[in-house]
Structure 1
Amino acid sequence: MKFFAFFGMILISISAIAADFDPSGTWQGVMIRKGTKMKDASIVYFDFENNDGVVTGYSREEIYDSDLYSLKKVNADLDENGTLHIRQIAETKSNKTSRTTWCRVSASLSYDPKTGYLTGEYVATDCRRVAGDFILYRADFELPTDGEMPYTQIWFNQFVKDYAEGLNAPEIRKIERDNFVFEPIFFDYDKYEIREEHEAFLNSMIKIVKGHSDLRVKVTGHTDSDGSDQYNDTLSYNRAQAITNYFVKRGLSPDRLVIEFKGERSPIDTNKNPKGKQRNRRVDFEFI
């Protein structure tokens, strides 16, 4: 039940974000031309100011791993459905070569409160046969409009990887992490095989950890009181190891996992009846 309560809290928090979408602020992401892959996309930033649905601002496009860029003024409208219709109207600054063409585009972008991404298709207004897709998420800085960019492109490759993994935008990941509720994984008597009923919860934890590069997980195994101390130490270790194997098999790096095993020394219930013993045959978790 805790697992479902966790998702309930996330949905409540997400609903609050979705209730009145305001695009104001800086967004960063990619501009993927039709027929190309995300890893080959251009980097793009938008800075919006919203005045009762009339939106103005700037965009900045960059070619990855270069100093080439184009800064443009943007006008936009936010309709009653929350769709943002943007138009790049004039280039104000750029750095380009004779082989670089910066097209102005228009696009209709929709915000998904479940993922935190602002996405939509674009079409060039001054270039032929140029179209593609924007994928944007909120940034935590202000976009300079003088052409100078104090921020690096180091985030780009990680974003491409995260998006391919199905991870949500950083603002949603923070909500998920802040509202995450741990629950123990229970085991059958004298066993360390993971029950299928626990896989959804474990997969949700994997997604949380993948979304935060500074996060590790402590996995602690336990047993009931049946058996010798030495036997139960080994069994509790095997239970913790089974969980870490599950995590590694699904993409978590081993260096983000810490194993502890306590045998029968840390019960959470009585060992005098089957129900209590079942609760003690478990693995617990902690973010570190």
Structure 2
Amino acid sequence: MTVLVLDNPELMAKAAVLETGLGGLISKAGDDSLRKPHRMRFHYGFNQHRLSEEDQQILRQHAAYLKAHPELTVEIHGHTDAFGNEEYNAFLARLRASSAAKLLQAEGIREGRITVTGWGSRKPLARPEDHAANRRLELEYRSEQMAKAQ
């Protein structure tokens, strides 16, 4: 058996399409207007819930992608660091996710296509002491085809 290791993201995406049959979910090479933005994670300053202007622009690109792919939904997961009590962290995480959802809705994405989750500090990305890495928002795309595969 031969194992091919790909370090080119575009080739890996094409290989995934061939392997899974999800060709309709990945835009064609060269079609920048329909390509999913690469960045799926956004970070926050301490006790902040508003995204920077640059991050908002990237989120608007996600909105354009969602408009071009009406079969997709998006889950927005808000996270915090471990400072503060868990009740407040859950509130702040949900506030972060809700703020991003409102931006997507303002860009024309129906509320029913967006799911918001506030995890607080319960699902750290890095070690709990890496506070800045854990203060984040993550986007996760879903489709009916993906749901059937799980």
Structure with higher RCO (Cα < 8 A, 6+ apart): 2
Structure 1 unmatched ranges of 5 or more = 15-113, 116-167
Normalised to the residue count of structure 2, the TM-score between the two structures is: 0.71
Name 2:29's counterpart in structure 1. Answer: 13
In the alignment, the residues of structure 2 paired with residue 287 and residue 182 of structure 1 have an alpha-carbon distance, to the nearest angstrom, of 12
Structure number, greater radius of gyration? 1
Deviations 1:18-57 (A, max 9, x none): xxxxxxxxxxxxxxxxxxxxxxxxxxxxxxxxxxxxxxxx
Name 1:259's counterpart in structure 2. Answer: 116
Q: CA deviation at 1:270?
A: 2.2
Q: Identity over the aligned pairs, expressed in percent?
A: 22
SS of residue matched to 1:265: coil
In the alignment, the residues of structure 2 paired with residue 184 and residue 229 of structure 1 have an alpha-carbon distance, to the nearest angstrom, of 22
Name 1:213's counterpart in structure 2. Answer: 70
Deviations 1:158-210 (A, max 9, x none): xxxxxxxxxx5xxxx3xx24xx5343111111110111121221111111100
Greater percentage in strand: 1
Q: CA deviation at 1:211?
A: 0.5
Identify which of 74, 88, 106 aligns with 1:249. 106
Aligned residues of 2:40 and 2:140 also touching (Cα < 8 A): no
Q: CA deviation at 1:233?
A: 0.5
Q: CA deviation at 1:213?
A: 1.4
Q: CA deviation at 1:13?
A: 2.5
In the alignment, the residues of structure 2 paired with residue 181 and residue 194 of structure 1 have an alpha-carbon distance, to the nearest angstrom, of 17
Alignment of 1:180-191 (within 5 A): 180-191=37-48
Name 2:18's counterpart in structure 1. Answer: none
Name 1:280's counterpart in structure 2. Answer: 134
Normalised to the residue count of structure 1, the TM-score between the two structures is: 0.38
After TM superposition, the runs of 4+ consecutive aligned structure 1 residues lying more than 4 A away are none
Structure 2 unmatched ranges of 5 or more = 1-8, 14-25, 143-150
Alignment of 1:1-288 (within 5 A): 13-14=29-30, 114=31, 173=34, 176-177=35-36, 180-272=37-129, 276-288=130-142
In the alignment, the residues of structure 2 paired with residue 182 and residue 260 of structure 1 have an alpha-carbon distance, to the nearest angstrom, of 19
CA RMSD of aligned residues (A): 2.4
Count of matched residue pairs: 119
In the alignment, the residues of structure 2 paired with residue 223 and residue 183 of structure 1 have an alpha-carbon distance, to the nearest angstrom, of 16
In the alignment, the residues of structure 2 paired with residue 237 and residue 263 of structure 1 have an alpha-carbon distance, to the nearest angstrom, of 8
